[in-house]
Chain A
Amino acid sequence: MRAFALLSALAFAAHAEDATAPEAEALRAMDAFMAAFNARDVEAWIATLNFPHVRIASGQVAVFRDAAEFRNNFEFARFAEQTGWSRSEWTERRVIQAGPDKVHVAVVFTRFREDGSVLARYESLYVVTQQGGHWGVQARSSYAP
């Protein structure tokens, strides 16, 4: 009985450790990022980022120094109208490297149309960091246009 209790305690401790691991924090931040993006909620989306935020795509490096700069450079309605996008989801996520305050995640994300058909699928790399206790997406290098 004592052995069972000890094993249970160890299992609980291991689980608790997993839950607080940087990888888990980074993936949670990315879940929140995607939820906010799909909800077209720019403030919630900004809350999932760390600044300065860097986006590398199409050979260009875009650096957003703060939330205000980011807010002024993205509009969900225009994005949806131009691309036919309705929602996105993570199709694949793979932690490449991880440290106490930074996790590198290789992802595949899929964009869907309103009718559920696939609009596009892209690979990307996310650098997720912890700044002042806040885990957020610091940089992305995407193969999307």
Chain B
Amino acid sequence: MEAKPKPNKFVVPIGPQHPALKEPGHFEFTVDGEVVTGASVRLGYVHRGIEKGTESRNWVQNLYLLERICGICSHVHAMAYSLGVEKLAKVTIPPRAQAIRTLAAELERIHSHLLWLGVAAHEGGFDTLFMYSWRDREVVMDLLEMITGNRVNYSVNLLGGVKYDITQEQVDALRKGMDFLEQRSHHYLKVVTTDETFLGRTRNVGLMSFDQAELLGALGPTARASGVQRDVRVDAPYAAYDLYPVKLITDPRGDLEARFVVRINELFESYRLVREISANLPAGELSVRVPRRIPEGEVISRVEAPRGELFYFLRSTGLDTPDRIKVRTPSMGNWASVMTLTIGQNLADVPMILSGIDPCFSCNDRMVRLLRPGVTQTWSWEELRRFGIEHYK
């Protein structure tokens, strides 16, 4: 039995849950009053069986399959895979190609962080910020389309290099775009650090200490916002990051506000990198030939996706199809840390905390099961989100 939401007032459906309605929940929270006492996550709505699928596709086909694991970070997946295959094949990639890969990766980071800023703001009820950040994000989408021909799933990588070159005209457009975005990002930083309503929902919320972040294996900006110095671009530079070093951005506070600040500061760093790379592209070829059958071996390829460390394990037995490919996405590492974080927090803070790790935003329709003593309720994500907004009014 569901109650219709009344205007300006949200009514929580109360009553014993119908036992036959085993709605598969993405999340399950045990709640005592308004405080979360237990949390667990169940993924699987987006499980397509890709790792198994890679075993029956050849190395080239897998490039296109693995790109589509995630639409938001498709380039880093393809890049991690290509770097791994090139390691197995013992092929050296021309520096221009590595630089273009790095350029695309930074543009992707910009688009991903702006996307997240909008989505996280939306979770907290700040729809104006959502609209502004996505409008600004269109600048990056246009730049990506200009360089690669598509807004999403840019397919820059080839096994052995890249497909597209950057012209001087494009370099000028990139610079203009970065200037505009940088100015806008200063505005976002100001909003995020000074707006009272925003701070009410982010300051001292979802605290994760340095030790917790280390132990729980948090990755990416989520870890860096707790002071953990962990960034694959700095720790283990790949592609062209040794030529264009990255500054590690951290924040010691460990709360939600810190996670916002870290990502916006990373935006500034990415703008700087895009300008630097595009102005200093090394001359040379765009790709080299990679054999059809990849030599035997096992490699690990780690790259820094916008959400954190992306881990690829590739095993070849000398055929034209891989033996085993394992993909461990950064969200996998971050879910565990965040689910632990929600314990002891208010239910109303949960939507913002979960968005704070920049999870693969997807189903607006994630279902949430709430286990209260004696009663199980099932809420939609939308209901949980509105509960959070109402609580803070």
The answer to whether A binds B is: no
